[in-house]
Chains A and B, each alone.
Chain A
Amino acid sequence: MVGARIVITPDGQDIDTRHLGFTISPHEECAVEEAVRIVEHHGGTVSVLTLGPPEAAEQLRDAAATGASRLLHLKTDGREWDPIATANAIVASIRDHERDDGPYDLIFFGNEAPDTGDYQVGIRVAHLLSRPCVSGVRNLELSDGRARARREFRGGDEFFDIELPAVLSVKEGINLPRYPSLPGRMRAKKAAIEEGEPTWRAGATHKELLRVPSAPRERAEILGTGVAAVPALVDLLDTFGVLP
C-alpha cells in the first residue's frame, strides 16, 4: 500500500481497499529471495505459504516467479486473523507437509507485518515446533547444519549461532530481491496452488474502531522556488543552529 492517505470504511472496521493494489510486503519479499538464493547455492526446494484472502494467490505467483516451486494458500474470508490463530494454522499446515517430506531445514518469516507490526508469528511458530528462532536477521551464513545469523543492535552487530532446523524472521536489507525473469513469470502463471481452509478463531483482542490520527499537520510554508530560495533556506538553517 503506497500513498499518503488511508480511507476507512464507514463502519470504522477496515481500510477501504477498493482502489488499492496489493503487493508482497518488503520483509517477506526478502524472505522469499533469501530462500531462493539458499536453494540456488545449496540445492533443495522452496515452498511458499500464505494465509490470506483469495487475492493473496497473486503474491504466491510472484514468489513462484522468483523461484519458489511449491505454493500453499491457507484461504481466509477476509476477516483479520490474530497472531495466535495465524501461527496455529501455519503450524498445522507445516506439520502436514513434514509428515510426508521430513522437516523443512529453514522456515523464513518477514520480521513484522507492515499493518499490525505484531512481531510474533515466526516466534510463535518456532515455539510450537520446538525449533530455535532468530528474528530481525540482516545476514545469514549456513554451514554443517548450522546457521549464523547477524542482526543490528545499538550501533553494532550481534550474532546468533543455532542448529537447523530453525526459524528465521528476516528484515529488508538482508538482500536486494531480484526482478523476476519473463520465463519465471510465464511459469508462475501456470503454477498449481495447493489450498487449505483453516477455521477462523476469535482472539483475545477485539477491534472496536480504526481511525486516521487526528490533528493533521499544516501544509509546508513555501520559502521560494529554485536557487532563488537558497538565501532564505540558509537563514532558516541558521535559526535551527545546524550551520557550521
Chain B
Amino acid sequence: MSVLCLVEHDESGVTDATLRALSFARRLAESSDETLSALSVGSPNDLALRSLAEYGVSELHPVVLSALETYAPVAWATSLLELATSSRSTAIVAAGTDRGNEVMAYAGALSGLAMVANCFEASRVDELTVRLSRQRWAGSLIEEARLEAAPALLTVAFDGVSAQPASEPTALSVHPFAPTLSDSDLLVAVSQFLPRDAGVSLADARVVVGGGRGVGSAEGFAALEELAELLGGTVGVSRAVTSLGWRSHSQQVGQTGTRISPDLYLVSGISGATQHLAGCQSAKHVVAINTDPDAPIMMRADYAVIGDLNEIIPALVAAIRAR
C-alpha cells in the first residue's frame, strides 16, 4: 500500500512544485503508515534522485520509452493508473501545475474517478475516505471536504504547501516501469517546443513593479519600465490594464494571468481585487503606492506610500539614480 506521486523533473532536478507535492503526499502517506512512491517519465538525474530520497520517497518508477520523449498527457495518465493498480496505491498525487492538473484530469477521465484539484492538506480517515482541505477562488476561500474514492486523485495548490524534506531521508530504490500504451494514448502530444528569448520572466522575476488602472495610460508605463529595469526586474499589470489594451496579457499578474513569487512586489495604482491578490500570494515583500489608504491592497501590502504613482515613481527613479 502506498501513496503515488507524479514527479516532474528537468536538468536542474525535481521541480519546486513537485517538491511541494511530495511534501503533501508524504504527510498523507504518514497518516495511515503507508510508503511514498513516485513515477517519473524519463530518468531523473542524480540531483533529482537525491531530492526524492530527502523527501521520503521509497520507490521510484521511471518510465523510459522513446515514444514519451515528448510530453503526451494521456500516456502519462495511463502510466500512473496502471502503476497505481499494480502497486495498490491508495492515492495518486501531482503538483498543481498545468501538466500535473492535466495529467490528473485525464487520470480521472480514464478511470471515471473523481479528481480534486488545489488541495493543501490531506489525511486518511479509512480505506475509502480522505479528509481534504483545498483552496477555492485561488486561495480566497478554503473548503474542508471528504473524498470517497479509491484511489484518491489529488493535485496540490502551489501556494498552499511549502517544500519540506522528510525528518530522515529514505533509502530510495529504483524500479523501471513499462506501461502498456496504445496508439490512442499518444494522439495528443507536443509536436514542437520553442524557447522564448532570454530576459526576466514575470514568473521568475526577483522584483516586479506592478501597475494598474491608476497608471492612467499606456504611455504612463514608461516610468514603471524604467524603475523595473533599474531594479533588475520586470513590469506586471492588473487585469484592468490588459482589458484596456494598455499592455499585453503576458504581463498580467493574477488568477488568470501569471502567479509571481518575487522578493519585492512594488505595486502601484492597483486596488487589489481578490483575483489579483491570488497572483502575488508568494511575494516575499509587498510595497503599495496608492492614492486610497483604504484600498484592499493595504491588507496585503507590508508597507505603503499614499499618493499619486505618476509623481512618486519618477521621483523614486531619480532618487535611486542619484545614490
Asked if B117 CB lies within 8 Å of chain A CBs, one says: yes
Asked if B213 CB lies within 8 Å of chain A CBs, one says: no
Residues of the B chain whose Cβ atoms lie less than 8 Å from the Cβ of A205: 114, 116, 132, 145-147
Asked if A233 CB lies within 8 Å of chain B CBs, one says: yes
In chain B, positions 277-323 with a C-beta closer than 8 Å to chain A are 277, 285-288, 293, 296-308, 311-312, 315-316, 319-320, 323
Contact indicator per residue, chain B 145-161, by CB within 8 Å of chain A (1) or not (0): 11111000001000000
In chain B, positions 149-185 with a C-beta closer than 8 Å to chain A are 149, 155
The distance in angstroms between the C-alpha atoms of A87 and B108, with both chains bound, is 12
Asked if B66 CB lies within 8 Å of chain A CBs, one says: no
- Residue from A132, A152, A229, A237 in contact with B187 in the complex, judged by beta carbons closer than 8 Å: A132
Known: A120-B117, A158-B190. A210 touches B305 (CB 8 A): no
Residues of B in contact, count (CB < 8 Å): 97
Known: A2-B275, A242-B231, A244-B231. A206 touches B145 (CB 8 A): yes
In chain A, positions 1-16 with a C-beta closer than 8 Å to chain B are 1-6, 8, 15
The distance in angstroms between the C-alpha atoms of A128 and B109, with both chains bound, is 8
Cβ-defined contact, B105 with A119, below 8 A: yes
Asked if A144 CB lies within 8 Å of chain B CBs, one says: no
Residues of the A chain whose Cβ atoms lie less than 8 Å from the Cβ of B236: none
Cβ-defined contact, B232 with A227, below 8 A: no
Cβ-defined contact, B300 with A217, below 8 A: yes
Chain B residues close to A by CB (< 8 Å): 10, 71, 98-99, 101-102, 104-106, 108-110, 112-118, 132, 135-149, 155, 187-196, 201, 204, 206-207, 230-233, 239, 242-243, 245, 249-250, 252, 255-257, 263-264, 266, 272-275, 277, 285-288, 293, 296-308, 311-312, 315-316, 319-320, 323
In the complex, the 7 A-B pairs of residues with the closest C-beta atoms, listed nearest first: A4-B296, A173-B249, A120-B105, A127-B109, A220-B301, A226-B307, A204-B114
